[in-house]
């Protein structure tokens, strides 16, 4: 008697598609939806194309997401044209048990935070590898004004972190806002709210990639057993 083969585990890409599709339930028909940036969000944008005639459009957190939305025929509004959003849907590089996140691996953290601040609810979509006990394992992205980069790196060094300038093709990566990004390793962020408040006050910091003041209300986590919904 042969034993039936167990189904092969879903790939990370398939998990992202699963949560991208699941996020559609949080999109309010007739309204404008806040859309983040990154590979998981790309899956959500692709799924959103199936209901583009039932929404007014989107506010996007990056040039890349804007282009993807427009290619599907979804109107994109400037954040200045919108007073509020019912929901903002975005991924995370890390999310903890309280809904606090580290974001910015895709270099869009400042615009992500701006759009998240417009929204009544942040829905995080991620695969289960992003769920952590404490933030800091993923290198923390910090968008900085270039002339302050070394000064800010020294301040992180004093806290035990090692900050390196993010490069692209051998040159400093330039964000959609014309700034640079430091990636900081070696941190363990036990109090994300206080940490975000403090680092955002350092001269030259545009945005730190800790999302504690704009935390997730819901996380749709892609797991081997399907989508796990976590409320915070």
Nearest CA to 232 among 126, 77, 88, 95? 95
Q: In degrees to the nearest 10, what's the CA dihedral of 31, 33, 34, 35?
A: -160
**Is residue 158 annotated as involved in ligand binding?**
no
**Is residue 20 annotated as involved in ligand binding?**
no
**Residue-wise burial string across 99-123, b where 16 or more C-beta atoms lie within 10 A, e elsewhere:** bbbbbbbbbbbbbbbebbebbeebb
Is 31 assigned a catalytic role? no
**Is residue 40 annotated as involved in ligand binding?**
yes
The two structure tokens encoding residue 201? 């006050």
**Is residue 223 annotated as involved in ligand binding?**
no
- Structure-token match 């509020």, residue found: 84
**Is residue 225 annotated as involved in ligand binding?**
no
**Is residue 127 annotated as involved in ligand binding?**
no
Nearest CA to 122 among 142, 103, 141, 143? 103
**Is residue 204 annotated as involved in ligand binding?**
no
DSSP 12-54: HHHHHHHHHHHGGGGPPTTSEEEE--SHHHHHHHHHHGGGGGG
CB 91 within 8 Å of CB 126 = yes
Q: Which residue of the set 31, 83, 94, 112 is catalytic?
A: 112
**Is residue 3 annotated as involved in ligand binding?**
no
**Is residue 37 annotated as involved in ligand binding?**
yes
**Is residue 96 annotated as involved in ligand binding?**
no
**Is residue 22 annotated as involved in ligand binding?**
no
**Is residue 90 annotated as involved in ligand binding?**
yes
> What is the Cα–Cα distance from 13 to 78, expressed in whole angstroms?
30
User: Can you say which residues are annotated as belonging to the binding site for substrate?
Assistant: 37-40, 90-93, 103-106, 130
Which residue ranges make up the annotated binding site?
Answer: 37-40, 90-93, 103-106, 130
Residues designated as active site: 112
């Amino acid at each position: 008697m042969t034993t039936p083969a167990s189904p092969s585990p879903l790939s990370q890409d398939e998990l992202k598609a699963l949560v991208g599709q699941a996020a559609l339930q949080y999109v309010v028909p007739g309204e404008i939806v806040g859309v983040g940036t990154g590979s998981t969000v790309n899956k959500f944008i692709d799924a959103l194309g199936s209901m583009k005639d039932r929404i007014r459009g989107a506010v996007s957190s990056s040039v890349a997401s804007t282009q993807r939305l427009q290619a599907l025929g979804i109107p994109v509004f400037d954040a200045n044209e919108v007073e509020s959003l019912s929901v903002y849907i975005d991924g995370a590089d890390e999310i903890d048990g309280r809904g606090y996140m580290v974001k910015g691996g895709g270099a869009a953290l400042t615009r992500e935070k701006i759009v998240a601040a417009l929204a009544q609810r942040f829905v995080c979509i991620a695969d289960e590898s992003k769920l952590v006990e404490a933030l800091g394992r993923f290198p923390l992205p910090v968008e900085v004004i270039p002339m302050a980069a070394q000064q800010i790196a020294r301040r992180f060094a004093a806290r035990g972190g090692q900050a390196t300038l993010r490069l692209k093709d051998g040159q400093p990566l330039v964000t959609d806002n014309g700034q640079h990004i430091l990636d900081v390793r070696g941190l363990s962020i036990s109090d994300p709210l206080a940490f975000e408040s403090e680092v955002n006050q350092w001269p030259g910091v545009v945005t730190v990639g800790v999302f504690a003041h704009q935390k997730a209300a819901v996380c749709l986590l892609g797991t081997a057993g399907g989508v796990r919904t976590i409320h915070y």
